[in-house]
Chains A and B, each alone.
Chain A
Amino acid sequence: MAEFLQIHEPGETPMPHADDNVAVGIDLGTTNSLVAIAHDSAPEILRGSDGRGMVPSVVAYLDDEVIVGAGARPVLLDEPERVVASIKRLMGRGVEDLKTLGGKLPYDVDEAASKGGMVRLSIAGRSLTPVEISADILRALKVRAEEALDRDVDKAVITVPAYFDDAARAATKDAAKLAGLETLRLVNEPTAAALAYGLDKDVEGLYAVYDFGGGTFDISLLRMEMGVFQVLATGGDAQLGGDDLDHVVAEHFLAERTKELSDDGELTTTEVKNALMTARLAKECLTDQDQGKWMLGMDGQPTEHSLDRARFNDLISDIVDRTIKLSRDVLLEADIMPDEVKGVVLVGGSTRVPLVRERVAGLFGQEPLADINPDEVVALGAALQAEALTAGSNALLLDVTPLSLGIETMGGMVEKVIHRNTPIPVAKAQEFTTYKDGQTAMAIHALQGEREMADQNRSLARFELRGIPAMVAGAARIKVMFSVDADGLLTVSASEESTGLEAQVEVKPSYGLNDDDMARMLRESMQHGRSDMMERLLAEARVEGARMLLAFESALEVDGDLLEGDEKNLINRRIDELRSAMAGDDRDVINTAVDTLNKTTEGFASRRMDRDIRKALAGSSVEDIDGELANPEA
């Protein structure tokens, strides 16, 4: 009875092309991105010819060429309007969201094209979405991996900030698709960092991951036990990041400059970009040095700015305090005392800032762990998870949804359907009713966030359930179902229960891509990318055919004696047809051959079923299965 499940362990089901299952881990960061691969649980960063692992998340759009990474930075000096940085901050955002970011943005937003949908940026005469720009970064990482491994790479685990909402997650998956990468899983960055720390050491207990990335801040609490990584709680702020440290320093420099030049005219995008770049240098310098001097405005009116560590700490103190407060909130919510935490993992380049380390150590009463390079730890963890998903693993990763999901009710209030920190995947339903006699339609507005009022939360999707039979107010029972999958992506459906009316509605995030956009972008990407959707579909049809053959062979082995008359010949002919279809490259021919084989074997299948029922009547198989269910580890 024990071997019942062991023989058919899902990971062991023979799959055709099993050795094709190579997948990389990608850290698609706000400031820098990395790609890594793991072999036998040993992860390794894939480096460029210059030996550097980090690819700056900077893209330059020249007239006939797109440059990603370090090569794009020089363009920033001469033609900053051709260069985009920190695009991750705009993933899944609408133009309305940008207004709340305040101040002068280092982006040139294409206002007209962005209206009511995803943000579009004007870059050197092109109008590009954050999805397309991120896809360019992912393409560069794909090329880097393919060159390093000397083979095609088309599968990846991609990390996202734990605090990324649904729209930003969907946008990340869309970007991967555009770049010709199948996303095996979106993994939260702090979780990936914990994986990198957890798998090469035998750690058990509670860990905190303090992740101060370029554009986001996350704090997560994880429990590691018996090979299970369980995220207990996560919190943070998707609009607070290491970039904000650069921002306050840049503002400080620009204020000094304005004063010195007595110039109160409006700042240009170029000036802002230059100030941000200088501020970043200053931040990095002040990590090891006590003070320094920097120049602004090479274009004829240079100004000099000096800054020491104490003044720098003053400038960034509010931001760092905010991360500490968010960390404390998450501890409180999970009902965990800081001293119960066994180790604190640091992620993100900004955790090198001495003040950050000092405050983190103060909160947890211990020096944070820094054995693994905080810039690389997320990509290394992603590579480990990519290997676990393709080659199989005994470890288990259980993550949670970072933000509550709900729907808008009368009066603009939010009724939560799934609370934050609920383990995923999860599906929950809530019932609502009509408020007017004879009401036949109901508007459903899905929201994400923790606030009480609908307009304070993030709008995910709106749709209408129509065709509700006319009843008195309060009689209809509208069930709204929220499902969150293992990538943290939401699907919403609604149905009217009392009459059985089912209206399934597939929901697209408000700022997601519609199908036309996606189709157009895929067409465009095919012109200059290696990816080919038709090829993917053909491969899938072949896999399905191979699966069918394997399934049928094992059925023949067990119940081959049930074949009647010349049935065997007929089936063999169909099998041959399927084999030769699979050798060809017409997807439709393969699919037809699969269907035909299925039809031909229907009689055989029903005879097998009769036999199995007789077996069950005769005895022990029911008990066997009970035993198996009761002892999942047996």
Chain B
Amino acid sequence: MSSNDNHKGEGHIHTHQDSPCWSCRGSVDQRAPFCHACGMIQAPRPGDEFQRLGMKADFDLDPKDLEKRYFAFQRKFHPDRFATKTSREKQLSLQHATDLNEAYDRLKAPLSRAEALLESKGAGKQDQARTESDPELLMEAMESREALADAETADEVAKLEARTRMEVEVSEEALSVAFAADDLEGATNIVTRLKYLLKLLQETSRKRLSLHN
């Protein structure tokens, strides 16, 4: 379903080479997690977070569906399933479960999901570094920092917090639009802005809590 075009058709088989099963030495498709001859668990195959959870690489996803897949895959690969097996099988299951936790953690939050998607689409970190020096964003960041520093009551801070939270939501929606239009440059810009907004949100909630106590 995560159909990279390379996987289809004859002549492109090189992207899908088989490797021998460590246990029975039979061949295992590079994407099969268990050997189809002896049933033995195999090392995790290369792939991005979306592939690991068997999902289409898309920014919009149903969190319930994501969680269901994560649980289902962990049910198969978690080290608890291999507690009485050989140390090699335990080691492989540990690798799978670690990968699954990482993939789920990255896809769960919109910001890291957007970053994962940009990476899988080949938009590198250089693009992000470029947008981080955007003068307009720097100005906005400075102003909101000042506003936060000036806020004296928990009420004032709560207002700032609410406004920032709203801007976070707007940015997340904008990300969805940008990805739908395959506008990677636009998405990269929003990711940078979202990063700054989330940091600001964290600082405002911390200040509100400290004023509360």
Q: Tell which of B16, B24, B82, B86 touches A543, judged by Cβ atoms closer than 8 Å.
A: B86
Q: Tell which of A5, A332, A390, A425 touches B84, judged by Cβ atoms closer than 8 Å.
A: A390
Is the C-beta of B196 less than 8 angstroms from some C-beta in chain A?
no
Closest to A487 in B: B79
Q: How far is the CB of B124 from chain A (nearest CB, A)?
A: 17
Q: Are B74 and A396 in contact (CB-based, < 8 A)? A: yes
Q: Count how many chain B residues have C-beta atoms less than 8 Å from C-beta atoms of the other chain.
A: 56
Known: A485-B94, A605-B26. A5 touches B76 (CB 8 A): yes
Is the C-beta of B35 less than 8 angstroms from some C-beta in chain A?
yes
Give the contacts of B32-63 with A (CB-CB under 8 A): 32-41, 51, 54-55
Contacts of A228 in B (CB 8 A): 71
Q: Are A389 and B23 in contact (CB-based, < 8 A)? A: no
Main DSSP-derived SS at the A contact region:
helix
Q: How far is the CA of A552 from the CA of B38 in the complex (A)?
A: 8
Known: A8-B39, A609-B18, A625-B31. A547 touches B23 (CB 8 A): yes
Q: Count how many chain A residues have C-beta atoms less than 8 Å from C-beta atoms of the other chain.
A: 69
Identify which of B2-10, B110-118, B152-160, B179-187 touches chain A. Answer: B2-10
Q: How far is the CB of B91 from chain A (nearest CB, A)?
A: 10
Q: How far is the CA of A633 from the CA of B80 in the complex (A)?
A: 18
Is the C-beta of B101 less than 8 angstroms from some C-beta in chain A?
yes
Is the C-beta of B27 less than 8 angstroms from some C-beta in chain A?
yes
Q: How far is the CA of A374 from the CA of B43 in the complex (A)?
A: 42
Q: Are A632 and B80 in contact (CB-based, < 8 A)? A: no
Q: How far is the CA of A423 from the CA of B98 in the complex (A)?
A: 9
Q: How far is the CA of A632 from the CA of B1 in the complex (A)?
A: 12
Is the C-beta of B145 less than 8 angstroms from some C-beta in chain A?
no
Q: Are B38 and A396 in contact (CB-based, < 8 A)? A: no
Is the C-beta of A499 less than 8 angstroms from some C-beta in chain B?
no
Contacts of A558 in B (CB 8 A): 26, 37
Main DSSP-derived SS at the B contact region:
mixed
Q: How far is the CB of A233 from chain B (nearest CB, A)?
A: 15
Is the C-beta of B163 less than 8 angstroms from some C-beta in chain A?
no
Q: Tell which of B10, B51, B71, B82 touches A396, judged by Cβ atoms closer than 8 Å.
A: B71
Contacts of B121 in A (CB 8 A): none
Q: How far is the CA of A8 from the CA of B38 in the complex (A)?
A: 7
Is the C-beta of B130 less than 8 angstroms from some C-beta in chain A?
no
Contacts of A185 in B (CB 8 A): 79-80, 83
Q: Are A389 and B80 in contact (CB-based, < 8 A)? A: yes
Q: How far is the CA of A198 from the CA of B2 in the complex (A)?
A: 37
Q: How far is the CA of A398 from the CA of B67 in the complex (A)?
A: 13
Q: Are A629 and B97 in contact (CB-based, < 8 A)? A: no
Q: How far is the CA of A389 from the CA of B84 in the complex (A)?
A: 7
Is the C-beta of A10 less than 8 angstroms from some C-beta in chain B?
yes
Q: Are B83 and A551 in contact (CB-based, < 8 A)? A: no
Q: How far is the CB of B23 from chain A (nearest CB, A)?
A: 5
Q: Tell which of A385, A548, A625 touches B29, judged by Cβ atoms closer than 8 Å.
A: A625
A-B contact pairs, 21 of them (CB 8 A): A5-B34, A8-B35, A8-B38, A13-B39, A21-B84, A185-B83, A226-B71, A389-B80, A397-B80, A426-B98, A427-B102, A555-B38, A559-B26, A609-B18, A609-B20, A609-B26, A616-B16, A617-B10, A617-B13, A625-B31, A632-B69
Contact residues of A with B, CB < 8 Å? 4-5, 7-13, 15, 21, 155, 184-185, 226, 228, 332, 385, 388-390, 392-394, 396-398, 422-427, 483, 485-486, 540, 543-544, 547-548, 550-552, 554-555, 558-559, 598, 601-602, 605, 608-609, 612-613, 616-617, 621-622, 625-633
New contact pairs (10) apart from A608-B37, A632-B75, CB-CB < 8 Å: A4-B36, A8-B35, A13-B39, A483-B98, A486-B79, A551-B40, A613-B27, A617-B13, A622-B29, A630-B55
